[in-house]
A and B are shown apart, each in its own frame.
Chain A
Amino acid sequence: MPLTVIVVDDSAVMRAMILRTLRLSGLPLGETVCCSNGQEGLDAIRARRPDLALVDINMPVMDGEQMIDHLRADAKTASVPVVVVSTESSDARVERLRAKGARFVHKPFTPEQLRDTILALTGIPNEQTATAARAGDDLDF
């Protein structure tokens, strides 16, 4: 089933780069929505109940950690799988995010790191992405 994915990052280039990486990874993508801060991301998640959210930490208006706190506090959004894609390297913060059920991908990331983290979180079998990737016209891992 195609995944509805929300990408939350204050950099337009990084949002485009993440989306491109997702498309090249062979993941079964459905609707993709981009947001530039945590508040926009929270609103989009509440409206769509996505299969996956990819979230930066340092953002204006509402940062990624606050956004995850709001998600987890609401029964309707508490189970949305979240991958934090950030430069954040503080052990304390990474542990806090993991305790909130988020997976972590460190910037700069490789396409494989992002794909493997998403596969582990969503439970999509790797063979499924390989098949989808073979059907694509541009695989530039």
Chain B
Amino acid sequence: MNKLQLPLERATTSTFEELTLLWAEDDATAGGGDGAFDHAMRVRFHGAAEGFLEVRASRGLMIAAAANMLGDDNLVSHELGVDALGEVANVICGNVLPEIAGSAGVFRLDSPAACDARANVQADARCSLTLDGGRVEVLLVVDYMKDQP
């Protein structure tokens, strides 16, 4: 297991549980997902480390996450579902970066952007979870990391 894997699993699990109130049914596991992902949001980061974090999810999970965040099933549109998935990606990214690059590093995160959920990505770490609302996969790609003192 590389040094990125455990921080990614921790940040993914805690973000889904605390932000979207969706609990993991199984432990976080490394490896690929089942490919049944309709949507993906990617957050690029710059600064003490450069790369991106991507969250892939089914439409059902995306809507469930948004409904829980809003506290109202009836308010959720497709656009808000996409927004929620982007915010999940943003929070996972913001929480995992200090763990892998040190809390002294300063990062700038781009706004989440939609991307191809089925693209073949050579990730440096990958985490799949089964949650109440479906499956989710999170990929972390690090192009550069500043040496920690």
- Complex: A131 Cα to B81 Cα, angstroms: 35
- Complex: A16 Cα to B67 Cα, angstroms: 11
The answer to whether A13 and B97 touch across the interface, beta carbons within 8 angstroms, is no
Contact of B86 among A11, A20, A91 (CB under 8 A): A11
Most-contacted residue by chain A among B14, B69, B104 (CB, 10 A): B69
**In the complex, how many residue pairs between chain A and chain B have their CB atoms under 8 Å apart?**
72
Task: Kindly identify, within residues 28 to 87 of chain B, every residue whose CB is under 8 Å from any CB belonging to chain A.
Answer: 48, 66, 69-71, 75, 79-80, 83-84, 86-87
Chain B interface (Cβ < 8 Å from any Cβ of A)? 14-15, 18-19, 48, 66, 69-71, 75, 79-80, 83-84, 86-87, 90-91, 93-95, 97-98, 103-111
What is the size, in residues, of chain A's interface with B at 8 Å between Cβ atoms? 24
The answer to whether B98 and A14 touch across the interface, beta carbons within 8 angstroms, is no
Given the complex, which residues of B lie within 8 Å of A60, measured CB to CB?
Answer: 111
- Complex: A63 Cα to B109 Cα, angstroms: 10
The answer to whether A12 and B80 touch across the interface, beta carbons within 8 angstroms, is yes
The answer to whether A89 and B80 touch across the interface, beta carbons within 8 angstroms, is no
> CB-defined interface of A82-93 with B at 8 Å, one 1/0 digit per residue?
000011111111
Known: A87-B94, A89-B98, A90-B105. A11 touches B70 (CB 8 A): no
Known: A20-B70, A87-B94. A93 touches B84 (CB 8 A): no
Nearest residue, chain A, Cβ from B85: A13
